[in-house]
Every structure is written in structure tokens, then in C-alpha cells.
């Protein structure tokens, strides 16, 4: 964990020529994390003019000012809002790049060779591709379909067939691409609109897809690419975790602090596992004999024993905890907190940035954390364990970190 004294020494320096007088001063709102931070001009600490929740308002002269924090020279004018974040010192997570994407980067997936990142876009036409060699966008992937082209949601890698499956909830289709060439191969009917998370059984013979609109779990044969069954669930399904022995699946139910247990031999429900009186389970992860679930309502990580589902621990991390991934060795678990929602509309930037946590899976202690920006959502770790990336959903960005 970062100590408070480390956070306090970070400074945002504003270099302003001349003497700041009372004339021609403009109010500029700063949204910077982590807090607290300091703003300086010519070696002098500036005092905020006012506060707006987690934001500070400073009075600055009109004109171009140099901000060393982000190496930008903004034009100070009415309506300017500074939004930046500070990186921790001596962290195992080293920021390498920030890449602008299409609208609504919902999730992330590294290619098996750890050389590219796929970015399904909710509000744009296809899947963006980021090269780790150039740290630039490559040509966007498309299904070539006509009509509704938006709504790309989650991606999953199928090793046994060298395929990548990507859900599109606006059409009810799963689109299949070659994991080597990234060529489009085919599309599969997932049952109905609303399909989201895709996972595969360890053998790769079946794909399980959660469907929030119909409250069903779709089972697809990966060889024939045919929908075999749609299992009715007790609530809205989100994340899915499958045990290594391929005997059980655990489906996070968004309408409470519960998880539905599915027998993969019969594809029948074995009932609900409850982890509290209230909650909103979002993502699920299975590591050896343990299960992990993110609870968006309570902002915490639930750990449980597999295969029984017996509760082990609740770890509070941050508001609107969502995506969970693990490094290839299972030593660390990464979790995303989207931050507090905007009180008017959750689709607008909230009062604080989100955060990404690196958690030791042995004792569930936080080994490191970094700030995201407005609603970090997608999260992935490269198969070689060298890279971590996350998307800032409302900013249309992907941030890439080296894992030291």
C-alpha cells in the first residue's frame, strides 16, 4: 500500500510568468488523484479559491500556462477543467502508455503472444487493436455485418481452437476471430440480445455465455458452434467462473449478494450461494481451490472456498468494484474500482477517479494500486505476465502498465 506521506510529496506545479495580480484571473477547477496534492507557482504554494467536493478551484491568469504534471500547456480560459492523476513512486506497476480508442472501451484481452490488446467497443463499430510494439492503434476489427454494428462487450480466448470469441449484446451474436491472424471467422447465435461474459470449460468443448436481458446462461458447443441449451437463472447473470476440474460453474447474480452454482455435467442449477443481505455481484474468478467475486454495491471482493462456495473473507477496495483478472501464475489478482457514480447520471464522470488494485492471492493484502480516470472498466494481464492494461470507459482511453 502507498503511505500517505508518499502521496503528499507529489506536486502539480503551475509556472506563471510575472506577478499574479487581482486582474484577469480565471477560476480553473482541478480534479487530480491521489489526494492531497500541491499546486505551485514560481516556488510559491497556491491556495485554493474554493472547493467543489473532491475538486479544487484555483484562480489563474489568462493565457497559456505550463503544467509539469502532464507536460501540457493549457489555455486558461472560462470553462477549463484540469483532470490528471499522479503515479506512485517505487511501484511494481509502471505506466508505459496511454492510447486513445473508439467510444466505450468495455473490456480488454491480450492476444496469446502478448503482443496486442483487443478492445471491444460498446459505442463504436468494432474492436480496436493496440500494438504493444508501437503502442499505437492498428486497423479495427469488424465482422463485416450490416445493420447494428455497436454493442461489442466481452472477449475470451479459446486455446484448443486458437480462437477469440467476442460478444455483441445488441445482436445476440458471438463473433469468432483467429487468435493468430485476427481474421474474422464466423458468428454464433447466443440465444438472444443481452449476451455479455463468455467463458470456456477447461477442455474447450463448451462456451458459457451470460445473458442479462433473458436472465439465462447459454451453453454453446464450440465445435459445431450451435447453441445447445439456455438455462434459466434466478437473476441477472454477469461474470462466470469455472473450476479447474470442469465440474462446477459459478455465476455472479447482479441482483443481490448471491452466486448461482451450476453442475456442468447436467447443466442444472444447484442453488444459490449467499454472501450477505445486500449486494450486486459483478465478476467471478476461480483460482485452484478458491473463488473470487466482485460486489459493485458494497465495493468489495468476496473470497470463497471451491467447490463448496463457503465464505472466506470480504475485502473492501473501492466504490463500484467490477472486473477481476489474475496474473498467469495466480500469485496476484487485479481488481478495478470504477469510483463513485455521478449523482445525476452514472454515465457522466463522477466526483472521483477509479482505481486499480494489485492483490496478493495468498493473504488478500493489497500489494499496489494505481489511479485510473473516469470509470476504469476493462482490465487484462498479458499471458507472459509482463503487462497490465485497463480502459477508462468514459474517456475512451486504454492505459498500459509494465509489471515490474
Cell of 305: 472456498
Q: Closest Cα partner for 54 from 74, 30, 38? A: 30
Q: Can you say whether residue 18 is alpha, beta or left, with left for phi > 0 and alpha for psi between -120 and 50 degrees?
A: left
Total tally of structural domains belonging to the chain = 2
Assess whether 20 and 66 both reside in one domain.
yes
Is-contact 163 178, C-beta < 8 A?
yes
Q: Is 215 in the same domain as 77?
A: no
Residue stretches of the chain with pLDDT short of 70: 1-23, 41-43, 64-74, 146-148
Ramachandran angles phi, psi of 393, nearest 5° = -60, -45
Whether residues 74 and 154 fall in one domain: no
Residue 199's domain comprises 93-403
> Is residue 251 domain-shared with residue 306, that is, in the same domain?
yes
**Residue at a domain's end among 67, 85, 103:** 85
The pLDDT, as a whole number, for residue 146 is 66
The predicted pLDDT at position 179 comes to 97
Find all residues with CB under 8 Å of 205, minimum gap 6, and list them: 221, 222, 223
> Do the strands 281-287 and 206-211 form a parallel or antiparallel pair, or are they unpaired?
unpaired
Q: Are residues 266 and 315 in the same domain?
A: yes
For residues 355 and 1, is the Cβ–Cβ distance under 8 A? no
Give the CA dihedral 329, 120, 316, 403, nearest 10 degrees: 40
Separation of alpha carbons 198 and 162, rounded Å? 15
3-state secondary structure of 285: strand
Residues sharing a CB contact under 8 Å with residue 19, sequence separation 6 or more, in sequence order: none
Q: Are residues 17 and 99 located together in one domain of the fold?
A: no
Considering the domain architecture, whether residues 121 and 77 belong to the same structural domain is answered as no
- d(CA 233, CA 235) in angstroms, rounded, equals 6
Note the pLDDT of residue 121: 97
Cβ neighbors of 50 (< 8 A, separation 6 or more) are 27, 56, 57
Integer Cα distance of 236 and 36 in angstroms: 39
**Residues contacting 11, CB < 8 A, separation 6+:** 37, 38, 39, 40, 69
CATH number at residue 188: 2.130.10.10
Final residue of a structural domain among 19, 54, 85: 85
Among 86, 88, 69, CA closest to 6: 88
Residues 80 and 112 in one domain: no
**Rounded Cα gap, residues 62 and 28, in angstroms:** 10
227 and 117 in one domain? yes
Nearest CA to 372 out of 351, 342, 398 is that of: 398
Whether residues 353 and 220 share a domain: the answer is yes
- Taking alpha carbons only, the member of 271, 375, 284, 285 closest to residue 330 is 285
Residues 34 and 53 in one domain: yes
Q: Which of 22, 53, 85 is the last residue of a domain?
A: 85
Sign of CA dihedral 5, 360, 334, 313: negative
pLDDT in the model for residue 178 = 98
Q: Which of 305, 316, 325, 341 is nearest to 381 (CA)?
A: 325
Judgement on whether residues 71 and 120 belong to the same structural domain of the protein: no
Amino acid at each position: 500500500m502507498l503511505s500517505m506521506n508518499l502521496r503528499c510529496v507529489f506536486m502539480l506545479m503551475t509556472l506563471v510568468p510575472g506577478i499574479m495580480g487581482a486582474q484577469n484571473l480565471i477560476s480553473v477547477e482541478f480534479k487530480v488523484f491521489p489526494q492531497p496534492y500541491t499546486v505551485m507557482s514560481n516556488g510559491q504554494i497556491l491556495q485554493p479559491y474554493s472547493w467543489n467536493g473532491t475538486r479544487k478551484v484555483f484562480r489563474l491568469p489568462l493565457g497559456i500556462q505550463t503544467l509539469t504534471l502532464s507536460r501540457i500547456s493549457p489555455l486558461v480560459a472560462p470553462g477549463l477543467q484540469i483532470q490528471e492523476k499522479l503515479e506512485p513512486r517505487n511501484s511494481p506497476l509502471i505506466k508505459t502508455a496511454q492510447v486513445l480508442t473508439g467510444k466505450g472501451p468495455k473490456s480488454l484481452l491480450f492476444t496469446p503472444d502478448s503482443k496486442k490488446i483487443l478492445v471491444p467497443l460498446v459505442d463504436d463499430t468494432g474492436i480496436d487493436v493496440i500494438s504493444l510494439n508501437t503502442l499505437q492503434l492498428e486497423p479495427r476489427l469488424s465482422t463485416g455485418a450490416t445493420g447494428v454494428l455497436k454493442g461489442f462487450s466481452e472477449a475470451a480466448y479459446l486455446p484448443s481452437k486458437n480462437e477469440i470469441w467476442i460478444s455483441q449484446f445488441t445482436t445476440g451474436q458471438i463473433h469468432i476471430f483467429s487468435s493468430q491472424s485476427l481474421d474474422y471467422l464466423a458468428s454464433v447465435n447466443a440465444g438472444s440480445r443481452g449476451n455479455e461474459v463468455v467463458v470456456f470449460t477447461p477442455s474447450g468443448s463448451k462456451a458459457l455465455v451470460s445473458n442479462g436481458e433473458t436472465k439465462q446462461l447459454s451453453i454453446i458447443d464450440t465445435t459445431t458452434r450451435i447453441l445447445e441449451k439456455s438455462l434459466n437463472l434466478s437473476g441477472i447473470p454477469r461474470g462466470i467462473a469455472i473450476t479447474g476440474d470442469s465440474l462446477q460453474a459459478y455465476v455472479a447474480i447482479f441482483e443481490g449478494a448471491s452466486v448461482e452454482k451450476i453442475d456442468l455435467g447436467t447443466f442444472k442449477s444447484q442453488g444459490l450461494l449467499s454472501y450477505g443481505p445486500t449486494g450486486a455481484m459483478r465478476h467471478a474468478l476461480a483460482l485452484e481451490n478458491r473463488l473470487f467475486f466482485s460486489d459493485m454495491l458494497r465495493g468489495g471482493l468476496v473470497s470463497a472456498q471451491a467447490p463448496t462456495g463457503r465464505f472466506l473473507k470480504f475485502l473492501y477496495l473501492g466504490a463500484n468494484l467490477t472486473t477481476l483478472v489474475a496474473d498467469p501464475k495466480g500469485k496476484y489478482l487485479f481488481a478495478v474500482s470504477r469510483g463513485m457514480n455521478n449523482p445525476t447520471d452514472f454515465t457522466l464522470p463522477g466526483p472521483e477517479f477509479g482505481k486499480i488494485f494489485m492483490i496478493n492471492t495468498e493473504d488478500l493484502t493489497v500489494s499496489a494500486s494505481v489511479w485510473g480516470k473516469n470509470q476504469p472498466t476493462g482490465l487484462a494481464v498479458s499471458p507472459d505476465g509482463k503487462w497490465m492494461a485497463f480502459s477508462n470507459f468514459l474517456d475512451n482511453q486504454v492505459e498500459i502498465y509494465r509489471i515490474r
